[in-house]
């Protein structure tokens, strides 16, 4: 009889154990995303992705990174600008702006200062013009570097040149915006002459509207000018004749540094989130993660 009872207990206890909910306490568990219940996450979404890349159809592990310089750049301030300068002869230079200097990685292993004495708190903008690198930051004298020699663009070597925070090469002209005293005006150089700015070469972008220009970028055959709360496109209808038209009067771009291309289309940060321009419409694509954006 005693053996029978023991056998029944051995059989019965495992069966009853599966009918009860087991609760386990994990202490010190943190770092997970708990803003949404699992039943609110769509089948095409993930609550969190780390160290991966995606092209919209697949996900794969990040390939890592390269360390360009073993020694940190001089200065207490962090780096503010990076630009890949390519020349027709195949030479490539990674340009960096940190502290009060402009650096170039000319060896692939370390940066060399090619221009010092810049304003330490300002961010450089760069563009390549006729095989030469041009730089501006909206305050210091504009300059250019050909891979060997840095030249300041002063009145002695230019005509009516303006100093802008944002610069782009578009339709064989150098375009500038963010000019002190004219924060809603885009200026452009003479054709194929980036150091010559005719006094009449400018376009007003709704001046005195309480807003300012925040960036320039070239997309296809258009030059896009951004303000904080509006977007504009500049196109050349015939040689030397440019027109401007509104893309959106409610959505703009907060910072030029957020502008990039995703699958061939512009993406940037606006006051309401991350925007995506399809060529026909501007779409807010950050809605599913808006609680994660500060």
Question: What digits encode the pLDDT tens for the residues 60-114?
Answer: 888 887 777 777 776 555 778 999 999 999 999 999 998 899 999 877 778 889 9
Distance from C-alpha of 6 to C-alpha of 57, rounded to nearest angstrom: 58
| pLDDT classification of 44: cutoffs 50, 70, 90 | low
Task: Please report which confidence band the pLDDT of residue 209 belongs to, taking 50, 70 and 90 as the band edges.
Answer: very high
pLDDT at 13 over 60: no
Q: What share of the chain is helix, strand, coil (3-state, %, to 5)?
A: 10, 40, 50
- pLDDT at position 282 is 94
Residue of 87, 177, 164 whose CA lies nearest to 132: 87
pLDDT at residue 259 tops 90: yes
Q: How much is the average pLDDT of 260-285?
A: 93
Class of domain 158-294: mainly beta
Q: Would the pLDDT of 262 be above 80?
A: yes
* Domain regions of the chain by residue span: 158-294
| pTM of the full structure | 0.79
Average pLDDT over residues 178-204: 96
């Amino acid at each position: 009889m005693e053996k029978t009872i023991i056998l029944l207990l051995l059989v019965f206890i495992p069966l009853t154990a599966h009918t009860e909910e087991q609760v386990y306490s994990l202490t010190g568990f943190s770092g997970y995303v708990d803003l949404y219940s699992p039943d609110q996450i769509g089948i095409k979404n993930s609550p969190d992705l780390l160290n991966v890349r995606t092209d919209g159809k697949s996900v794969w592990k990040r390939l890592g990174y390269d360390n360009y310089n073993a020694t940190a750049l001089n200065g207490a301030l962090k780096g503010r600008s990076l630009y890949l300068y390519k020349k027709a002869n195949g030479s490539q230079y990674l340009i960096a702006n940190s502290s009060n200097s402009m650096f170039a990685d000319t060896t692939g292993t370390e940066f060399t200062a090619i221009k010092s004495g810049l304003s330490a708190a300002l961010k450089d903008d760069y563009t390549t013009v006729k095989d030469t690198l041009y730089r501006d930051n909206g305050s210091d004298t504009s300059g250019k570097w050909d891979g060997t020699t840095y030249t300041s663009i002063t009145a002695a070597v230019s005509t009516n040149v303006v100093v802008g925070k944002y610069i782009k090469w578009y339709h064989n002209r150098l375009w500038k915006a963010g000019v002190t005293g004219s924060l809603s005006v885009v200026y452009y150089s003479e054709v194929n002459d980036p150091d010559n700015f005719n006094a009449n070469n400018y376009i007003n972008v709704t001046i005195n509207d309480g807003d300012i220009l925040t960036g320039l970028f070239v997309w296809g055959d258009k030059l896009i000018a951004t303000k904080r709360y509006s977007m504009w496109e500049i196109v050349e209808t015939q040689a030397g004749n440019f027109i401007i038209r509104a893309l959106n009067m409610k959505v703009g771009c907060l910072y030029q540094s957020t502008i990039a291309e995703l699958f061939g289309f512009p993406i940037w940060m606006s006051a309401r989130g991350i925007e995506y321009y399809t060529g026909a419409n501007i779409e807010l694509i950050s809605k599913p993660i808006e609680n994660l954006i500060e």
